[in-house]
Amino acid sequence: MRLENIVWDAREPQRLGAFWAAALGAECLTDQPDGYEARLSFDGEFFLDLCFQRVAHPSTSPARLHPDLAGGKAQAEVVDRLRGLGAEHVDIGQGDVPWVVLADPEGNAFCVMEHRDAYVGAEPIAALPMASSSPQRDAEFWAEITGWVPFDGVAPATLRHPSGLGPLLEFCAESEPKRGKNRLHLDVRPDRAGDEAVLARLTELGASRLAPDVPGLPWTVYTDLSGNEFCVLAPLS
């Protein structure tokens, strides 16, 4: 399988999707009232799609996944550009830190990072921090289902695409157990059709199916070992 999508629940998918596409320089793929998609391409085969799906009432539970944007030496300029696109400064109790916390047009907090050696080459998203009840365990789970490899980062456990491109996937010790639905989640896709062993392997690794299959729905919802939702998409072939 491969990690394919970062998904946002949104009240206004077009507005939120257009913000993030502009913020990250992503190419718009789909622009419809109930869904917006844009693509970040890193090389000939590795890409991440940014997907925005309409929900009537996005979760108000504490965020467990968010993007950290690359700022580095241009951090102030990046912040100014994002504010021009509609982001706002927000206080989530971060205190005196070297990164800048902003919120997108629907109130999702994200960070613009200062320079860190680990983030060099990871533009425009430096990292995707995910809350975890056991960072090393969860890193091993996600490595198994995505093919991403361990990386010497700043989090307790970190993965990166084998190409060495794109964001780091960071597993950070949770401040509290998960409650409620995540507003952001990740999607993975099997490499080929008919690979039922993939789904069986997920259960063996400790994933839980969140809901039964719905006829016609091209994905299956699971949670990882810390309760974070993710979807397994239908194979393309």
100-103, strands of its sheet edge to edge: 88-89, 100-103, 109-112, 68-69, 125-132, 168-173, 157-160, 149-150
Smallest Cα–Cα separation from 189: which of 154, 226, 233? Answer: 233
pLDDT of residue 228: 97
194 band by pLDDT with thresholds 50, 70 and 90: low
Counts of helices then strands in the chain (DSSP H, E): 4, 16
- Residues 45 and 214: their CA atoms lie apart, in Å, by 30
Does 211 score more than 80 pLDDT? no
The answer to whether the predicted template modeling score (pTM) of the entire model surpasses 0.75 is yes
- Residues 128 and 131: their CA atoms lie apart, in Å, by 10
234 band by pLDDT with thresholds 50, 70 and 90: confident
In 52-209, which ranges are continuous DSSP H helix?
75-85, 135-146, 196-205
pLDDT in tens, 143-180: 999 999 999 999 999 999 999 999 999 999 999 999 99
pLDDT of residue 3: 96
Write the single-letter amino acid at 210.
L
**Structural domains of the chain in order of their starting residue, each with its CATH number:** 2-233 (3.10.180.10)
Side-chain half-sphere exposure of 69, counting CA atoms within 13 A: 25
- Residues 6 and 182: their CA atoms lie apart, in Å, by 12
pLDDT of residue 33: 87
199 band by pLDDT with thresholds 50, 70 and 90: confident
pLDDT in tens, 34-93: 999 999 999 878 999 999 999 999 999 999 999 999 999 999 999 999 999 999 999 999
Task: Determine what percent of the chain is predicted with pLDDT higher than 90.
Answer: 85
Strand duo 100-103 + 47-54: pairing: unpaired
